[in-house]
Each structure stands twice: as structure tokens, then as C-alpha cells.
């Protein structure tokens, strides 16, 4: 499929296709579960297929873990826990450093794999996901032998077996966020990747083998929601970590009630991106674009609510629309592609339904001229104006390339509107005035506030939400706490 320039005006320069080669990755026709250091079939023999969302091509057939497999994996992790947690931290650190290095060595392969399985542009997997994945393992590797100095007292203890359930939007990055701190602190892991993106986790299992990681320390169980529920509910799991939707997060919070399991939840968001009249407009436009169109908007901390000061609304929107017209949607493996495929047919229909609801409720929809490929799951970058706080598209997380634009007059109004949400994960502030940045950042009820930038991540920095965006923090020193008995 050729990448499709989405510009309305005739482009001065056409882009030649610049596809990344698929040949760097070798996808087997089928994969098993990774339990106790071995790939095995599911106990009941069930399998499911994973497809490329850009082409609907079947990439591989994956064993689907059931309750019996969860039992086996948790038992393997329990057996491994004794020796793993007893290792000197400096030894655990070396395993994690090995993993980080192998990820760097294989990063091109993994980037292509992730793009194939997820549908996100290669430029994002190559330049954002993979470098961050390696960085997370490097960062937590260094903590493994310094836990006494992490501020949780001398000799903080690991919790035991961690049951981890991750989403499909950043499959390998979310794996890194979960597994790196868990292993550094001496826990063992059973991880369930999302059913639409299991491949990079299974490749990671191979990296664990290359790194010589002891058997059972990491176990990977692809499957659907029922697999995740069995894992979360398993009586021998000591720690539950989940990233995903708020609805599922609430179900997990209910499921673990009355147990001693420690829980962290990274859930949905409806990030407000606030642009004041003194903002650097061009930079703000770039920030708005990366805020909502990065990874097709399938980002929990996406800046999906744009709050523009009324006096610059027209100027900003003109500029934003001009910029959106230059976004290139198409083959995710093309290095020039900005907008890739939506991860699944199911997600596409969810986005479509919410966008239709936005129109039905009276908001004004706009997209640049944009040809969508005939195969695969695609959604054009979309912008809604005339949006009020009562509109569904201003309240519900859409998890797609859809931006709702609201306006405000005063900083107080901006803060009030930004905070008028069940969520509290991320926010953005655009202004040249330093005191305003600090004043507004102080008042925003959100776990991450980006000022004059957006969607920046780093392993040293705690990430996590207020309110119904979940509890606990991942990243940084804070991220250790979730895996320690403190």
C-alpha cells in the first residue's frame, strides 16, 4: 500500500515510498505460551490469531492461556521466586543490564515487529518505543543493587509473584514498565499481553532466554480478558499491576478487595491541553498534534481535550488545520508515515461510534482530505469544534485520533474545565509566562503535567493518575514502591 499524502493543496514535494524492510524480523507461524522457561501449548489446546491491523494479514497463531496455564505459570513463578529474590541485587542487576543490551541490539527487529502487530508507524516504534524500552531496563537494572538507598528503609523486601496485565497500545513499552521494576526488586512475573498484540512479549521471552534469565522468573501468557481475570484472581499472586481501561481497572479493584494483594492501576484519561494567548503558537500546534495524534491517539495520557483561550482560537485552529493537512496516513512500515492503523476492528468501531455521537450531539466535525487504505483499520485525524463540556466526546475517552476543541477566557476557567473530568492522568500548558505555568500546574488535578511540551516520557519520571485514572506510579524511584513490601 502506498502512503497517501493527506494534503488538500498540491504538495510542493511528493514523498517516495520509504518502507522499512520486513526481512529483519522472522515471525513463526505459531507461538506457544512461555512458562518456566519453555514455550508450550495451552493445556486445552486453544489458539487465536494475531493480525496486522494495517493489512488484516494473519501474522501468527498464538496459544491462548486458560486457567490451567495460569496455575502452571504462577507455580513456576513461585518456584523461581525463592532463588531470584535471594540473589544479590548486583546479580539481578546484571541480568537486567543484559536484557537492556539485547533489546538495543535487536531494536530494529523489535520495532518492525511491533509496527506489524500493532499498526503504529515505524518512526514511532523506532524512535520512541524501543529506545524507551531499553532505557527502562537500564534504569531499573541500576536500582537492583541499591534498594537499601531508595528511601524505603534498609533491606526492603519483594512481594512475591507479580501478575501483570498490559494493553495493546504500547505492547513492549508497557511490558518494560511492568517487568523491569518487578525483576529489579526481586519479584517474579507472570505477564499477560493484550490479545491483539502478543508478539513482542513472546519475542521478549526469547530475549530472556538469550540473557540466561533463570527459568520461571518471567512467564508470558497471551490471552483475552478471561486469562487476565484468572491471573489477577489467582490466590498465589501477591501483586497485581494493570494498565488498561478504567472499566476493567474498577473490575480488578473489586476482584482484589479483601485480599492482601498489592495493586497498581494505570487507567484511562481525557487529558486537557491548555493553550493560553501568549503561547508560542507553532510550538503549541506541534504539541497538540503529538498530544492527540501520536500512536493514532491510542494513548491513555493523550491530550484529547484542547482548551484554547478564546482570543486566539481562530488563529490556532487555522494553524492546526493547516498542520493536520500535512499528516501522512498510510503504511505503518513507511518511514514517512505519521498516522498508522487503528489497532483492531473493535477499537475502530468504538472510535466510529463515539465520533458519530459527537456529531449527533451537535459538535462540528472536521478532517483534512485523507484517503484511507481499503484494507485494514483506519481512521482519519479528526477535530471537533463547538464542543461543550456536556458532550460525550468531551467526557469519554475515545482512544483514537479525535481531538475535541473547547475554549476558555480566564486561567481560572481553564483550570475548572480541565479538572471537570472523572480522569486525572495528564495535562498540558502552553504559555510563555513562567508564573502562569507554575500556578496552573499547581491547580491541575493530574499526575503528569507537560508545560510547553507534550507526551514526553523517561524512566526516571513517575507516571500515573489522580482520580479514576488509577493509583500508583510507574517509573522513577516511585515505581519501586509498587513492588516492595513498604
Partner 1 sequence: MSEKPKNTEKPKNTEKAEQQRLSVFKTYKLYVGGKFPRSESGRVYEVTDTKGEWLANAPLSSRKDARDAVVAARKAFGGWSGATAYNRGQVLYRVAEMLEGRRDQFVREVAEAEGLSPSKKSDTVKAAAIVDAAIDRWVWYAGWTDKIAQVVGGGNPVAGPYFNLSTPEPTGVVTVLAPQDSPFLGLVSVIAPVIATGNTVIVIASEKSPLPALSLGEVLATSDVPGGVVNILSGRTAEIAAPLAAHQDVNAIDLAGADDVLAKELEVAAADNLKRVVRPQAVDYSVTPGLERLTAFLETKTVWHPTGALGASGSSY
**Residue numbers at the binding site for partner 1 (CB under 8 A):** 135, 151, 153, 246, 249-251, 253-254, 257-258, 260, 265, 267, 422, 424, 437, 441, 444, 446-453, 456, 458, 460-464, 466-468, 470-471, 473, 476-478, 486
Measured from the CB atom, the residue of 293 and 471 that comes closer to partner 1 is: 471
- 300 in active site: yes
Minimum CB separation of residue 439 from partner 1 in Å reads: 11
Minimum CB separation of residue 211 from partner 1 in Å reads: 23
Minimum CB separation of residue 111 from partner 1 in Å reads: 19
Minimum CB separation of residue 253 from partner 1 in Å reads: 3
Catalytic pick among 300, 370, 397, 481? 300
How many whole angstroms separate alpha carbon 279 and alpha carbon 284?
7
Catalytic pick among 114, 195, 266, 397? 266
How many whole angstroms separate alpha carbon 485 and alpha carbon 126?
36
Measured from the CB atom, the residue of 195 and 396 that comes closer to partner 1 is: 396
Question: Residue with C-alpha cell 484472581?
Answer: 233
How many whole angstroms separate alpha carbon 436 and alpha carbon 423?
23
Minimum CB separation of residue 157 from partner 1 in Å reads: 14
Q: Are strands 239-243 and 161-165 parallel, antiparallel or unpaired?
A: parallel
Minimum CB separation of residue 97 from partner 1 in Å reads: 16
Element (H, E) at 123: helix 122-124
- 266 in active site: yes
99, 130, 194, 296, 316 from 110: Cα distances, Å = 13, 8, 17, 20, 38
- Please give the backbone phi and psi of residue 121, each rounded to the nearest 5 degrees, phi first: -60, 145
Residue 154 burial (CB count, 10 A): 7
Minimum CB separation of residue 356 from partner 1 in Å reads: 28
* b/e 328-349 (16+ beta carbons within 10 angstroms → b): bbbbbbbbbbbbbbbbbeebbe
How many whole angstroms separate alpha carbon 484 and alpha carbon 134?
22
The beta strand positions in 52-194, using DSSP E, are: 58-63, 157-158, 161-165, 188-192
137, 143, 362 from 149: Cα distances, Å = 19, 9, 56
HEC states along 375-401? CCCCCCCEEEECCCCCCHHHHCCCCCC
83, 159, 251, 429, 437 from 166: Cα distances, Å = 26, 19, 15, 29, 33
- Given a contact cutoff of 8 angstroms between Cβ atoms, the answer to whether 338 and 15 are in contact is no
Catalytic residues: 266, 300
Amino acid at each position: 500500500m502506498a502512503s497517501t499524502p493527506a494534503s488538500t493543496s498540491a504538495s510542493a514535494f511528493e514523498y517516495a515510498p520509504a518502507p522499512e524492510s520486513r526481512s529483519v524480523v522472522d515471525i513463526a507461524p505459531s507461538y506457544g505460551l512461555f512458562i518456566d522457561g519453555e514455550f508450550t501449548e495451552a493445556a486445552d489446546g486453544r489458539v487465536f490469531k494475531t493480525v496486522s491491523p494495517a493489512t488484516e494479514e494473519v501474522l501468527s497463531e498464538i496459544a491462548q492461556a486458560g486457567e490451567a496455564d495460569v496455575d502452571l505459570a504462577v507455580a513456576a513463578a513461585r518456584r523461581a521466586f525463592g532463588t531470584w529474590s535471594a540473589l544479590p541485587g548486583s546479580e539481578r542487576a546484571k541480568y537486567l543490564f543484559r536484557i537492556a543490551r539485547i533489546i538495543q541490539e535487536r531494536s530494529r527487529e523489535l520495532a518492525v515487529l511491533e509496527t506489524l502487530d500493532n499498526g503504529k508507524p515505524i518512526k514511532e516504534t523506532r524512535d520512541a518505543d524501543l529506545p524507551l524500552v531499553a532505557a527502562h531496563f537500564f534504569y531499573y537494572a541500576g536500582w537492583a543493587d541499591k534498594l537499601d538507598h531508595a528511601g524505603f528503609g534498609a533491606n526492603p523486601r519483594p512481594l512475591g509473584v507479580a501478575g501483570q496485565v498490559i494493553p495493546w497500545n504500547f505492547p513492549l513499552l508497557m511490558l518494560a514498565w511492568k517487568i523491569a521494576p518487578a525483576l529489579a526488586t526481586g519479584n517474579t512475573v507472570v505477564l499477560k499481553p493484550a490479545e491483539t498484540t502478543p508478539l513482542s512479549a513472546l519475542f521478549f521471552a526469547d530475549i530472556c532466554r538469550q540473557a540466561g534469565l533463570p527459568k520461571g522468573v518471567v512467564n508470558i501468557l497471551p490471552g483475552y480478558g478471561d486469562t487476565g481475570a484468572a491471573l489477577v484472581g489467582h490466590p498465589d499472586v501477591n501483586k497485581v499491576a494493570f494498565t488498561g481501561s478504567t472499566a476493567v481497572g474498577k473490575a480488578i479493584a473489586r476482584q482484589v478487595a479483601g485480599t492482601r494483594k498489592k495493586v497498581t492501576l494505570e487507567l484511562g484519561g481525557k487529558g486537557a491541553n491548555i493553550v493560553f494567548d501568549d503561547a508560542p503558537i507553532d510550538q503549541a500546534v506541534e504539541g497538540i498534534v503529538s498530544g492527540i495524534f501520536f500512536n493514532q491517539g491510542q494513548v491513555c495520557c493523550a491530550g484529547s481535550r484542547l482548551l484554547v483561550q478564546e482570543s486566539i482560537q481562530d488563529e490556532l485552529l487555522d494553524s492546526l488545520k493547516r498542520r493536520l493537512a500535512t499528516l501522512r496516513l498510510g503504511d505503518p512500515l513507511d518511514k514517512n508515515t505519521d498516522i498508522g492503523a487503528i489497532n483492531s476492528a473493535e477499537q475502530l468501531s468504538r472510535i466510529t461510534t463515539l465520533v458519530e455521537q459527537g456529531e449527533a450531539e451537535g459538535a462540528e466535525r472536521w478532517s483534512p482530505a485523507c484517503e484511507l487504505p481499503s484494507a485494514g483499520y483506519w481512521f482519519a485525524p479528526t477535530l471537533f469544534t463547538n464542543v461543550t463540556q456536556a458532550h460525550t466526546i468531551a467526557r469519554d475517552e475515545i482512544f483514537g485520533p479525535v481531538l475535541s476543541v473547547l475554549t476558555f477566557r480566564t486561567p481560572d476557567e481553564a483550570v475548572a474545565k480541565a479538572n471537570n473530568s472523572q480522569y486525572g492522568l495528564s495535562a498540558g500548558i502552553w504559555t510563555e509566562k513562567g508564573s502562569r505555568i507554575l500556578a496552573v500546574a499547581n491547580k491541575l488535578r493530574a499526575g503528569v503535567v507537560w508545560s510547553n511540551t507534550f507526551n514526553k516520557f523517561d524512566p526516571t519520571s513517575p507516571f500515573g493518575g489522580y482520580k479514576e485514572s488509577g493509583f500508583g506510579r510507574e517509573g522513577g524511584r516511585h515505581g519501586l514502591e509498587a513492588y516492595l513490601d513498604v
